[in-house]
Structure 1
Amino acid sequence: MAEPKTTTKKTGSREQTKTAPAVQTTKTSRDDGKPFFDKVGDVAQKGVELSKRGAQKLFHFTGSATKLSKLKVEIHNLETQCEKQYLEAGKKLWQMYKDGKLGELKSKFDPEFQKVEGFKKQITEKEKESEKISLVE
């Protein structure tokens, strides 16, 4: 609590003393005795710091997400290349089967090749059927 303020005033031969009532001030947890604009500046500075931290986190996330996406694309491309190699190997094996050059390996691959033969027959039948269909009258 503040001390009461006392003022003395002389009027002619008389002296008058007045005592103003003490003003009670309470400090809040926010009130640190700084002027208002200093407080506004502090709040603005904290806002800037929070924005910087948020931007840094966003930058890190974006960089990481980009790197992760790039790696996933590279993995997909490698898997596609692997599938192409399987396909090429299968084509060569198929040609060896058709040419009768598989020898004893024929029995190991015969069930799969029989399925391929069946699919090829179905494809041929469907192609013939589709040729009979006209889109224009």
Structure 2
Amino acid sequence: MKERIRDAVVTCFVSFTVLILCYAALDLAGWIWPLDSRQALRLFALTAAIGALIQLTALLPVQRLSGQLLLQFADVAAVVFGLGGLMGVFPWEGPVLLLVGGMLTFTYFASLLIFRLIEFSCNRRDSARINRMLARTQGRTGGDR
């Protein structure tokens, strides 16, 4: 359970950071409206909801990685277009919906990459620590049996 909560929090923070950077770049390019405090809080609420929903749907018995990724992307789209639309995060207009869809896709894949890199780094660190402990234990017991 702790791992699911940790993953939801990491997903939220990583996604929010990527989303804000994407938003800022689009704002500087003049393609999107400026970000204000209320909008930033709405975006944070969306990324928190996405992190929670991804952890809930991760409980479903989906074995294939492609199925898991598709389910996660559907979670993101449902929250962004469903909850985001209800919260008034963006206007329901054709060009805006295309822009939001592009931001959603970019943010999803960038966040997935960053999350996997964090996971890989943590696994390597844990492996190194376990190997050091095993080496110390084998040194005390006289090596291999």
The question of a shared fold, defined as TM-score above 0.5 by the shorter chain, is answered with no
* TM-score normalised by L of structure 1: 0.35
Name which one, 1 or 2, has greater alpha-carbon Rg.
Answer: 1
* Greater RCO, CA 8 A, separation 6+: 2
Higher helix share: 2
Higher strand share: 1
